[in-house]
Amino acid sequence: MTTGHREVEHEITVSAPASAVYRLIADVANWPRIFPPTIYVDHLEESGSEERIRISATANGEAKTWTSRRKLDPQGLRIDFRQEVSAPPVASMGGAWVIEPLGDSESRVRLLHDYSALGDDPGHLTWIDEAVDRNSHSELAALKDNVEFAHAAEDITFCFTDTVHVNGSPKDLYDFINDAGLWPDRLPHVASVTLEEDPPGLQTLEMETRAKDGSVHTTKSYRVCIEHRKIAYKQITLPALMKLHTGYWTFEEGPDGTSASSQHTVVLNTDNIVEILGEDATAADAKAYVQEALSTNSLATLNHAKRYAEGVR
């Protein structure tokens, strides 16, 4: 083994059948909900048991994006993966998910990694060691929680979409949402914005927004911008009533104009319902409260984007 190469393994025991755990890991669409570091996963190719995916995730607090190939083996309960082009300082990265039954309702999940650092640099290798170790523990712990509490979370996880129809181009709508640094001048509910983009298409967005009652709230999100088509995001600083908030903006051209949509996926934080909404408040009350707040801001943003795209600049 050279100074710039490692092979490591992490594992965790999960109180769920191995087949259920495999299905959860195999479905990358849910990864932003399951794994804390993951921002967004996009399918690029699918052919039989093999697929090519683009993953955007954080590593040591930095947003990175890379493309991986996966080979799915549902009979062997194994998923092999290999990054095509890794993000610096990683030179190469691969591994496997291996799920082992420990009984009818328990399984062991092993997460294998092999990787090398650019230039066999010991400092780069240390950075990767820390990122892989932190993300592996985080991913496995989140996987355990997600599987074991899936049924309990069903009632407090919800999705919804707001849509406006625009007589304008998807590009103009995309540009309005993409150029979030201009939002304080364009959106009345946005007080201030700090926007960083490195590399292009991967943004860190921190902003202060005004609520109906005049209070100001600070939020931070990572955004993945797929040119003129979609902007996906994951909010990493959350209001008290949410445990998770992910979503995406989409722009689809049709025969009668363009549909601009904002989709949200939310997991409620039920521990704070009474404190925020009062002793008699229920999860249904919290859901309605959160959805109204998010929809109000989404529709305000979409309608300003509509006016921009239709030529009211």
pLDDT along the chain (313 residues), means of 10: 77 92 88 87 93 90 88 97 90 96 95 93 92 92 80 79 96 97 95 93 93 84 93 94 95 94 95 96 96 95 97 66
pLDDT at position 100: 98
Query: In this structure, how many other beta carbons lie within 10 angstroms of the beta carbon of residue 92?
Result: 16
Give the pLDDT score at 4: 66
pLDDT of residue 2: 45
For 306, the enclosing helix (H) or strand (E) is helix 283-309
Structurally, what CATH architecture does the domain formed by 155-309 represent?
A: 2-Layer Sandwich (3.30)
Cβ contact 210:216 at 8 Å:
yes
The CATH fold assigned to 5-153 is Alpha-D-Glucose-1,6-Bisphosphate; Chain A, domain 4 (3.30.530)
Question: 5-153 and 155-309 share one CATH topology?
Answer: yes
Tell me 103's DSSP state.
S
Domain map (residue ranges) of the chain: 5-153, 155-309
Cβ–Cβ < 8 Å for 31, 138: no
Contacts of 159 (CB under 8 A, 6+ apart): 263, 264, 265, 266
Distance CA 275, CA 116 (A): 48
Q: How confident is the model at residue 33, as a pLDDT?
A: 82
